């Protein structure tokens, strides 16, 4: 069942999203060659506590860290560890917080270090995934369906020569980190439930440079591309208003 949020609930989630976006903006300059992924996770935790919020991911279904840091062929849910970031790595940082009993979720991808000539396809993948999220948000308005969102993401991504992950999806969010509905990044127009005012959910295109099929990582949490190809992930928490989608994580 999709839970419709009240104006007051959305107000709180707007505050949560703003805090999360500010935390992410403070983390971005730290991402550079030579940094250990666990150090980024530690910085995320410190900032969350400074804002008097709570980490959303730590201990969620046993996950050991505050952030998900997924590098290169790791699609999502990568566990920050002793890995030292290298020039040209494609890194995705996914972070969630709980604030006044409500959750917010946000992810972005970036190239580690200054782009070089051989990074052109990685940059194209990042830009395509970011654009796919923008298109998804534009489709998220009252009267459209969740199939409309999946369809626009899939068509754009495949036109760019990439693939969308089929086994993972976006989700509703509120007093629980994951609520209904499940929002696929592929689908048919006019299919699925209709989007209504008061819905709050996370849109998160996950795009691969090669095949979309996945395998579980050795840590038991992450998902990697089965063929070892690079992947990219962007996510925003949005609320549906009469005018369309409002990005809460900004």
| pLDDT tens-place string over residues 19-31 | 999 999 999 999 9
In a domain, 78, yes or no: yes
Contact 84, 34 (CB under 8 A): yes
In a domain, 182, yes or no: yes
Q: Is 11 exposed, middle or buried (0-12, 13-18, 19+ CB in 10 A)?
A: middle
Q: What is the residue range of 154's domain? A: 7-247
Question: What CA–CA distance (Å, rounded) separates 96 from 17?
Answer: 9
Output the pTM of the full model: 0.96
Per-residue DSSP letter, 35: -
In a domain, 2, yes or no: no
In a domain, 129, yes or no: yes
In a domain, 1, yes or no: no
| pLDDT tens-place string over residues 209-223 | 999 999 999 989 999
How many domains in the chain? 1
The CATH number assigned to the domain holding 137 equals: 3.90.230.10
In a domain, 135, yes or no: yes
């Amino acid at each position: 069942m999709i839970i419709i949020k009240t104006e007051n609930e959305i107000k709180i989630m707007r505050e949560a999203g703003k805090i999360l976006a500010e935390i992410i903006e403070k983390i971005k300059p730290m991402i550079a060659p030579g940094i250990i992924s666990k150090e980024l996770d530690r910085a995320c935790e410190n900032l969350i506590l400074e804002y008097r919020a709570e980490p959303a991911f730590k201990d969620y279904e046993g996950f050991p860290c505050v952030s998900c840091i997924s590098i290169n062929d790791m699609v999502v849910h990568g566990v920050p560890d002793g890995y030292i970031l290298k020039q040209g790595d494609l890194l995705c940082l996914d972070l969630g917080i709980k604030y006044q009993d409500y959750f917010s979720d946000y992810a972005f991808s970036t190239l580690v270090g200054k782009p070089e000539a051989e990074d052109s396809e990685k940059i194209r993948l990042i830009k395509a995934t970011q654009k796919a999220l923008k298109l998804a948000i534009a489709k998220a308005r009252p009267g459209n369906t969740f199939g409309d969102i999946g369809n626009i993401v899939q068509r754009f991504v495949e036109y760019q020569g990439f693939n969308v992950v089929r086994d993972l999806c976006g989700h509703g969010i509120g007093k629980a980190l994951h609520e209904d509905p499940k929002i696929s990044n592929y689908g048919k127009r006019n299919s699925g439930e209709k989007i209504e005012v008061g819905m709050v959910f996370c849109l998160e295109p996950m795009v691969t440079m090669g095949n979309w099929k996945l395998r579980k990582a050795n840590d038991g949490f992450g998902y990697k591309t089965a063929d070892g190809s690079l992947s990219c992930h962007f996510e925003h928490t949005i609320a549906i208003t009469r005018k369309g989608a409002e990005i809460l994580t900004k």
